[in-house]
Amino acid sequence: TCMNMDMAGKALSGHHVYVMGMMFILCLMLNGRVQCDLDHLSSEGGIYTTRARSSLDNYLKHFYDPSKGIIYDAYPSSNPTGYWVLAHAMDAIMDGVKLFGSQNNTYLQVFENVYAKLASHELLDDYYDDENWMGMMLVRAYMVTKNNVYLSAAETIFNDIKGGWDTSCCGSVKGGIWWNKAHSSKATASNGGPMILAALMYQVTGNNNYLTFAQTVYDYWWTNMVDNKTYHVYDNINTSGQKNTVWTFTYNEGLMIGAGVHLYTTTKNEKYILNSINIARFMMNS
């Protein structure tokens, strides 16, 4: 199905580095014999930052059009990249701002140019999971730059996603955030991500409403869309109440792991980190 292809693509593209990082952290927690040689990592840091900068510079050289503020979907191509892919591209540019901004402001200028184009055309999207990536990117942009414009935009996106929460559908226990504005299903993609976004919004604003929403969505999804024996995170539930328990994407497990880590960090409630560890065990044993 189109949804299958879309979700599979996101599982491979998405924030896979973030997800794999979470999995690595949890592996360290699960296996006390694993040690981190931080001195060695530190000594190699120059190599990795050099490679990161080279990769970003080459990406911008071939995919970024400064005259239009556009990131293209391929090289060569004249088509702007899609909404959720743009969020990841802008996140990579913000990496450049954070790592190299003290040396020059080129990356910040690029980011501001791309954001201006985004804000003038498509700050919101038809898919709540895609909006989530954009929202998280904008919170991070605020954290790095302290520019309230990005926080305000993240709030606008969050409020739109929050509007997708619904208690009229689906199945015997109703709740969850719709996958899209067409209300075709409710997916882990559109629920796990907003838990993280809400936790981040709480972190930067101190507004308890964000934390409450994150916990509400988490509790609903954990209770109704996670196998309580295997800890497999189900992909979606359709309007007829049928749960897709077949698909297994690291995307889904990764989002719930990330949500648990963020909520544990925020609340110190051990249930969140223990749940994340159990999901990680499922993934390692699958």
Q: Which amino acid is at 261?
A: V
Mean pLDDT of all residues in 82-97: 97
Q: Which two tokens stand for residue 64?
A: 């970024």
The per-residue pLDDT for range 232-263, each reduced to its tens digit, is 999 999 999 999 999 999 999 999 999 999 99
Q: Is the pLDDT reported for residue 40 higher than 60?
A: no
Sequence-distant (≥ 6) Cβ neighbours of residue 149 within 8 angstroms: none
Burial class (CB in 10 A: 0-12, 13-18, 19+), 138: buried
Mean pLDDT of all residues in 113-140: 97
pLDDT at 17: 39
Strand 64-65 and strand 70-71: the pairing is antiparallel
| Cβ atoms 220, 176 nearer than 8 A | yes
Cα–Cα distance for residue pair 272/94, rounded to 1 Å: 29
3-state secondary structure of 236: strand
Mean pLDDT of all residues in 60-64: 98
| Cβ atoms 194, 161 nearer than 8 A | yes
Residue 101 — pLDDT band, cuts 50, 70, 90?
confident
Burial class (CB in 10 A: 0-12, 13-18, 19+), 102: exposed
Residue 109 — pLDDT band, cuts 50, 70, 90?
very high
pLDDT at 45: 65
Residue 237 has phi, psi (to 5 degrees) of: -130, 130
> How far does the chain reach from its first CA to its final CA, in angstroms?
24
- Which of 34, 36, 40 lies closest to 284 in space, CA to CA? 34
Task: Print the SS3 string covering 155-179.
Answer: HHHHHHHHCCECCCCCCCCCCCEEC
Buried (b) or exposed (e) across 47-61, using 16+ Cβ within 10 A? eeeeeebeebeebbe
pLDDT at 48: 86
The per-residue pLDDT for range 209-232, each reduced to its tens digit, is 999 999 999 999 999 999 999 999
Strand 236-238 and strand 243-244: the pairing is antiparallel
The per-residue pLDDT for range 175-211, each reduced to its tens digit, is 999 999 999 999 999 999 999 999 999 999 999 999 9
pLDDT at 122: 87
- Average pLDDT score over the chain: 88
Q: In Å, how far are 61, 63, 77 from 57, measured between CA atoms?
A: 6, 10, 18
